[in-house]
C-alpha cells in the first residue's frame, strides 16, 4: 500500500514536469474524461493523483512479472520516445522495438526468431572476420542484409520466446502492436494520453506523452523497476 504522503510527493514531481498537460478538449477521448481534473484554456488537465496510483500499480505489476520469469517487450517507435527508450532499454537489458513494428511480430513469432538468429549469425561473421573470404560485392550484400535486419530486429535479440507482456508508449500510435497483443491476450502496460481509450489497456498510465521530460520520468519508473534478475532471464538467442 502506497502511503498518502508518497503519492502527494509523486504528484508534485509529476506536476513540475508537466505530466498533467493533456490534449485539447476537442481531441479528448470520451473514455479518458474520468481521469481529467479540469480544462484550462481548452487544454485537458490530467488528474495526477489517479496517474500516481496507476503508475505505482504498473510498477508493481512489472516487478511481479519479472519475479515470475516473465519477459517484457517495450514498444516505442515514435521518434521522441524511441530516442529515450533505446539507451535505457539497452542499459537495463530489456527487449525493445524503436524503429518500426513489423506486422506479425507477435502473431508470427517463429518467423521473427528465425530472422533474429540470421541477424546474429551475420553479425558474428562480420565481427570474427568470416566475411573476408567473400569478394567485395558479396560482402556488400551481406552488410546490406545485416543493416536491414538490425533496423527491424536490433532491439529484440534478447527475446528467447514471445514476450509475456508489452510496455507501450502511446498506444494510439502503436495500434498494430496493441492489436496483436489483444489477439494473443498479452497484457499491456502503457503510457497513454487523453486522446486514447484507456480501457483498451490492462495497466494504463494516463499522462502527457509528448514531452521528453515526462517520458523520461515515467520510463525510469517503469523500466528501472526491473530487478537485476532480469539479466538472467533474457539471454541472447543462440
Residues 163 and 191 in one domain: yes
> Given this model, what pLDDT does residue 225 score?
61
Q: What is the mean pLDDT of the chain?
A: 91
**Whether residues 13 and 80 fall in one domain:** yes
Backbone angles phi, psi at 97, to 5 degrees: -120, 120
pLDDT tens, residue by residue, 65-121: 999 999 999 999 999 999 999 999 999 999 999 999 999 999 999 999 999 999 999
Nearest to 169 by CA among 213, 205, 197: 205
Task: For 172-230, write each residue's pLDDT tens digit.
Answer: 999 999 999 999 999 999 999 999 999 999 999 999 999 999 999 999 999 876 554 44
94 and 25 belong to one structural domain: yes
Q: Identify the pLDDT of residue 6.
A: 82
Q: Is residue 104 part of a domain?
A: no
Mark whether 143 and 34 lie in a shared domain. Answer: no
Tell whether 76 and 184 lie within a shared domain: yes
Give first-to-last CA distance, the chain, whole Å: 41
**CA distance readout (Å), 92 to 2, 7, 88, 188, 190:** 25, 26, 6, 19, 18
Kindly list the strands in the beta sheet with 203-206, ordered across the sheet, starting from the edge strand earlier in the chain. 96-97, 72-75, 165-169, 188-192, 203-206
Q: What is the pLDDT, as a whole number, of residue 228?
A: 45
Looking at the fold, whether 80 and 14 belong to one and the same domain comes out as: yes
Residue 85, Cβ density class (10 Å: 0-12 exposed, 13-18 middle, ≥19 buried): buried
Domain that holds residue 24: 4-98+157-233
If pLDDT is split at 50, 70 and 90, which confidence band does 237 have? low
In a domain, 44, yes or no: yes
Q: Is residue 24 located within the same domain as residue 94?
A: yes
Tell me the pTM: 0.88
Q: Are residues 168 and 116 in the same domain?
A: no
Instruction: Provide the β-strand partners of residue 31.
Output: none
- Does some domain include residue 180? yes
Same domain, 179 and 194: yes
pLDDT digits (tens, 9 = 90+) for 39-62: 999 999 999 999 999 999 999 999
Cell triple for residue 98?
A: 524503436
Q: Using the predicted structure, report yes or no on whether residue 124 has a pLDDT greater than 70.
A: yes
Total structural domains in the chain?
2
Amino acid at each position: 500500500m502506497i502511503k498518502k504522503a508518497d503519492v502527494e510527493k509523486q504528484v508534485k514531481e509529476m506536476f513540475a514536469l508537466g505530466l498533467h498537460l493533456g490534449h485539447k478538449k476537442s481531441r479528448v477521448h470520451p473514455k479518458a474524461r474520468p481521469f481529467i481534473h479540469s480544462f484550462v484554456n481548452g487544454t485537458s488537465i490530467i488528474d495526477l493523483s489517479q496517474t500516481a496510483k496507476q503508475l505505482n500499480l504498473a510498477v508493481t505489476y512489472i516487478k511481479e512479472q519479472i519475479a515470475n520469469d516473465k519477459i517484457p517487450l517495450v514498444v516505442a517507435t515514435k521518434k521522441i520516445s524511441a530516442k529515450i527508450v533505446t539507451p535505457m532499454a539497452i542499459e537495463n537489458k530489456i527487449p525493445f522495438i524503436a524503429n518500426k513494428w513489423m506486422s506479425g511480430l507477435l502473431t508470427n513469432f517463429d518467423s521473427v526468431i528465425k530472422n533474429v538468429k540470421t541477424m546474429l549469425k551475420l553479425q558474428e561473421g562480420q565481427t570474427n572476420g568470416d566475411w573476408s573470404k567473400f569478394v567485395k560485392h558479396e560482402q556488400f550484400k551481406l552488410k546490406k542484409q545485416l543493416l536491414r535486419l538490425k533496423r527491424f530486429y536490433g532491439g529484440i535479440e534478447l527475446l528467447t520466446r514471445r514476450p509475456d507482456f508489452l510496455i507501450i508508449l502511446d498506444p494510439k500510435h502503436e495500434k498494430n502492436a496493441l492489436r496483436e497483443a489483444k489477439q494473443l491476450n498479452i497484457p499491456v502496460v502503457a503510457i497513454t494520453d487523453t486522446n486514447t481509450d484507456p480501457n483498451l489497456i490492462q495497466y494504463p498510465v494516463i499522462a502527457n506523452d509528448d514531452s521528453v521530460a515526462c517520458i523520461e520520468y515515467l520510463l525510469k519508473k517503469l523500466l528501472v523497476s526491473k530487478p537485476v534478475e532480469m539479466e538472467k532471464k533474457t539471454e541472447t538467442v543462440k
